[in-house]
Amino acid sequence: MHRIARIAVLLAIVECGWLAFDGTHALLIGDYVTPASGRFAGQLGPWSRVVALIGLEPRSTLTKSLHLILGVTGFWLSPDSSSTGVGPGGG
């Protein structure tokens, strides 16, 4: 697989991992991971405004569950590491 494809797969895996982690964290702890201090303390990222525009509450259980589902689905759909060369099974 070409280097750019490996990088794209790696970035997708990182993004899916974050979605799964943050969704799980939000469901178990009650809120997403947000900055603890500074100008953006406690605020969600720009994605929350997009979600609100389509009528979903960003901190709802539904949205938290969608984070988890999207993250897990992304892992499931991503090519395995032996074919991409990304991860422990890759070249």
**pLDDT of 56-76, one tens digit each?**
999 999 999 999 999 999 988
Cα separations (Å) of 84 from 3, 25, 40, 77?
9, 29, 37, 13
Query: Is 89's pLDDT higher than 50?
Result: no
Amino acid 79: pLDDT: 75
| Chain segment 33-56, per-residue pLDDT in tens | 999 999 999 999 999 999 999 999
Single-letter amino acid code for the residue at 56: L
Please, which pLDDT band fits residue 1 given cuts at 50, 70 and 90? low
| Closest CA relative to residue 59, chosen from 36, 25, 9, 88 | 25
Please tell me the pTM assigned to this model. Answer: 0.78
Please provide the size of the chain in residues.
Answer: 91
